Amino acid sequence: MNIVILSKGPGNYSTKRLKEEALARGHEVRIVNYAKCYVTLESGKPVVRYKGKDLGKVDVVIPRIASSLTKYGSSIVRQFEMQNVPTITSSISIVRSRDKLRSMQLLAKAGVGIPKTVFARETADVDDVLEQVGGAPVIIKVARGTHGNGVVLAETRKAAKAVMQAFYVEGVNFLVQEFIEESAGVDIRAFVVNGKVVASMMRQSLDDDFRSNLHQGGEGIAVKLTDEERKTAQKAAKTMGLAVCGVDMMRSARGPLVLEVNSSPGFGIEKVTDHNVASKIIDYAEQVAKAGRRKDKVGA
């Protein structure tokens, strides 16, 4: 099987692990820097080119698109879709997951537990915004961000107003969320592959930082999910249309609350839990490729 991993570099841990597992099964693997790909558009002839050549036969694509290149990376994934090349993550689900507001809207509509959230940009109704999420302290996030960047804890009403006013001046869209005191500095990452949670860990900040992301210096430990947490992770993944994703949740007095659904989660969870996540993803990639071949035969 010919597998293309769309990644910015072969040195990325997740990329290396996927390649190792695929090669161990006898597959051919190409790591393609999607930022250096380009597409040719002609009626009935969608093509992805890389280093001056057509990528040729591809059985399945595994996208690993960075947040900073969401728009371009998802466009490359979309071009593969136009060629009827199976991908384990669709272009629309990548775009959807990177838009914090859109994600929260979809999760809320589906009945998935989320923190109380207000989306705003330019409004003088600061007091009402704060009241809607239960008052200070509150979490304020830029509408697009990852790894805990662009996230502020405003502990007082005065601090919250100052942060929001600064965003107003800059014309930045932002989210204001309730602060879940019982879960401060702690969250849970559930790694979902093909509708099943294949690994889960609890992330704890090592100091007084309220963010628990491993990229922010948080520490991870393996954790067993409750049935409710597992079902919440599965429902969140399904709602976002993601067969492979990381679902970040908080434990609250009213049950698990989803913070984010990451379409390109890191593989640090393998080291924490000793679960072979990469193998599960290659399993799924094989299924997707097989289904694609069956579809081609029917179409022929």
What is the largest distance, in Å, between two alpha-carbon atoms of the chain?
65
Between residues 288 and 182, the one the model is more confident about: 288
Under 8 Å between Cβ of 103 and 263: no
Domains annotated for the chain, with CATH where assigned, are 2-89+279-299 (3.40.50.20), 117-179 (3.30.1490.20), 182-263 (3.30.470.20)
pLDDT of residue 29: 97
pLDDT grade for 142, boundaries at 50, 70 and 90: confident
Under 8 Å between Cβ of 242 and 261: yes
Bridge partners of 204? 186, 219
Query: Within a 10 A sphere around the Cβ of 221, how many other Cβ atoms?
Result: 10
pLDDT of residue 300: 42
CA distance 161 to 259: 23
- Lowest-confidence region among 139-143, 191-195, 273-277: 139-143
CA distance 180 to 115: 8
CA distance 228 to 163: 35
Beta sheet of 53-54, edge-to-edge order: 37-40, 47-50, 53-54
Q: What is the 3-state secondary structure (H, E, C) of 19-80?
A: HHHHHHCCCEEEEECHHHEEEECCCCCCEEEECCEECCCCCEEEECCCHHHHHHHHHHHHHH
pLDDT of residue 72: 97
Per-residue pLDDT for 205 more than 80?
no
- Lowest-confidence region among 1-10, 118-127, 139-148: 139-148
pLDDT of residue 125: 82
% of the chain with per-residue pLDDT over 70: 90
pLDDT of residue 43: 86
CA distance 120 to 140: 10
DSSP string, 268-293: HHHHHH---HHHHHHHHHHHHHHHHH
Query: Within a 10 A sphere around the Cβ of 30, how many other Cβ atoms?
Result: 14
Residues 6+ apart with CB under 8 A from 218: 203, 204, 205, 206, 209, 211, 212
Per-residue pLDDT for 212 more than 80?
no
- Lowest-confidence region among 44-48, 59-63, 78-82, 84-88: 44-48
Between residues 185 and 285, the one the model is more confident about: 285
